[in-house]
Amino acid sequence: MEQLTCYDCGETYPFGDVTRCRCGEPLWFETDAAAFDWPDASDGSLGRDALWRYESVLPATTPTGLAAAAGGTPLFRAPSIESTDGPRVHLKVEGVNPTGSFKDRGTAVGISRVDGPVGTVSHGNMALSVAAHAAAADREAVILVAEDTPDSRLAMIAQHDPHLFRVHGEYGRLYHDTLEHDLGAAFLNSDAPLRVAGQKTVAYEICEAFAPDAPDAIVLPVSSGGQASGVWKALRELDAAGLLTATPRIYLAQTARCDPIAQAYRRGASRVEPVTGEPTAAVSINNADPPSGNRALAAVAETDGGVVSVPEEAMLAETDRLAADAGVSVEPSCAVATAAVRDLAAAGEFGPGDDVAVILTGSGYKYGETEPDTSSVREIDRSDVPGAVRDAVS
């Protein structure tokens, strides 16, 4: 599994040489899944195993320590939030991953594959995940956060002792900066091929739980498009392995305050244009220029799904409803997905006979009241990032 391919133009590259296709689109690992079959589950191991249950289709081998524990999250039907004429709703609770979000899947595979220092451009769950997994694996971590990242979030990341930089300047460009410069650290950004490989395992787990049938649809929040890509990749592989009776449709949900993928979907376009987002409580999904946006749109088009924008008020109300009625505390960024299920049911996309799996991407229990200690955070300008990062990791 050493080849990367472009979903769009089909170009292939050896792993390690390039970060994106020369056509501009993101790459993913080529996986020959034709011989894949579900592992034996008669011993109850599905639901107990971590994501390494699917090691044969991953570009890394089972590690020890924290990375060994990512994935294997609960999936349960939640009748308390179903409506009488709506579909059966199954919740995949990614908040129980080691650092509270699905990002641990991608981090676990990434850190198990690369050597030396690791890094990421993130001010949220991905930063926390990379910092924690690096700590567990005794690696240095470089975390580049945006100027406006609140101290409470910084303190949460800082407790794992990474090199933590608050970057002043155009944060949106940093994703590309870290791919274009050799910074002495392997950057596991939102849609890095290793990360997408790890993240596809969430859909493996969902589909295995329904085997030999399959859910009618998988609904998830989308920002960079990394997780949506992983879900699509999983469905393609499971199709190739002959394990899906019908391919689940992929539906994506965005906040109406930052919805470039939904806007492109409504235009009927195959390319996402950057937008100017507005402030939103959906802090984990406010990417105005998503690097895997086109691939996310392709996932929707190929599986006959859709993209939904959820207004801020509806999202916040849905966050409360999930906690109060389903007993699951999530970030507002996740609640767009169950809000979307209701919109889609009302629009006739789902009926009472349908099984819809919703990925609740991150825990709501994280953002507490602790006194933030941010004394280890260094303030730097974007132009100083390459030098400062190199100095920090050397």
Ligand X SMILES: *Cc1c(COP(=O)(O)O)cnc(C)c1O
- Where along the sequence are the contacts to ligand X (CB under 6 A)? 101, 103, 124-126, 190, 221-228, 284-285, 331, 333-334, 361-362
6 contact, one of Zn ion, ligand X, none, CB 5-8 Å limit per kind? Zn ion
CB count, 10 Å around CB of 352?
12
In contact, 295 and 323? CB cutoff 8 Å: no
Phi and psi for 359 in degrees, rounded to 5?
-90, 110
How far, in Å, CA of 132 to CA of 160, rounded?
6
Instruction: Report the nearest approach of ligand X to the CB of residue 151 (Å).
Output: 19
Which parts of the chain fold into alpha helices (H)? 103-113, 125-136, 151-158, 174-180, 193-199, 201-210, 226-240, 260-267, 293-303, 312-321, 332-346, 385-393
284 contact, one of Zn ion, ligand X, none, CB 5-8 Å limit per kind? ligand X
**How many of the chain's residues bind Zn ion (CB under 5 A)?**
7
CA of 253: how far to CAs of 82, 87, 146, 256, 315, in Å?
18, 17, 24, 9, 11
The single residue among 15, 18, 25, 289 that binds Zn ion, judged by CB under 5 A, is 25
Helices first, then strands: H and E counts in the chain:
12, 14
19 contact, one of ligand X, Zn ion, none, CB 5-8 Å limit per kind? none
Residue closer to Zn ion (CB basis): 8 or 239:
8
Q: How far apart are the first and last CA of the chain?
A: 30
Residue 354 in 3-state DSSP?
Answer: coil
CA 283-96-166 angle, 5° bins:
35
Residue 381 in 3-state DSSP?
Answer: strand
21 contributes a contact to Zn ion by CB under 5 A: yes
307 contributes a contact to Zn ion by CB under 5 A: no
In contact, 208 and 117? CB cutoff 8 Å: no
Q: Which amino acid is residue 391, in one-letter code? A: D
3-state helix, strand, coil in the chain (%, to 5): 40, 20, 45
Among 198, 251, 196, CA closest to 224: 196
Instruction: Report the nearest approach of ligand X to the CB of residue 150 (Å).
Output: 15
Instruction: Report the nearest approach of Zn ion to the CB of residue 23 (Å).
Output: 3
30 contact, one of Zn ion, ligand X, none, CB 5-8 Å limit per kind? none
How far, in Å, CA of 141 to CA of 185, rounded?
8
User: Using CB under 5 A, which of the segments 1-9, 34-42, 278-286, 298-306 binds Zn ion?
Assistant: 1-9
Instruction: Report the nearest approach of ligand X to the CB of residue 123 (Å).
Output: 11
4 contributes a contact to Zn ion by CB under 5 A: no
User: Using CB under 5 A, which of the segments 24-32, 63-71, 252-260, 365-373 binds Zn ion?
Assistant: 24-32
21 contact, one of ligand X, Zn ion, none, CB 5-8 Å limit per kind? Zn ion
23 contributes a contact to Zn ion by CB under 5 A: yes
155 contributes a contact to Zn ion by CB under 5 A: no
User: Using CB under 5 A, which of the segments 25-33, 101-109, 210-218, 314-322 binds Zn ion?
Assistant: 25-33
Q: Which residue is nearest to ligand X (CB)?
A: 362
Instruction: Report the nearest approach of ligand X to the CB of residue 230 (Å).
Output: 8
275 contact, one of ligand X, Zn ion, none, CB 5-8 Å limit per kind? none
291 contact, one of ligand X, Zn ion, none, CB 5-8 Å limit per kind? none
Instruction: Report the nearest approach of ligand X to the CB of residue 10 (Å).
Output: 23
Residue closer to Zn ion (CB basis): 21 or 330:
21
227 contact, one of ligand X, Zn ion, none, CB 5-8 Å limit per kind? ligand X
How far, in Å, CA of 177 to CA of 356, rounded?
38
6 contributes a contact to Zn ion by CB under 5 A: yes
101 contact, one of ligand X, Zn ion, none, CB 5-8 Å limit per kind? ligand X
Which residues in this chain contact Zn ion in the complex, by CB under 5 A?
A: 6, 8-9, 11, 21, 23, 25
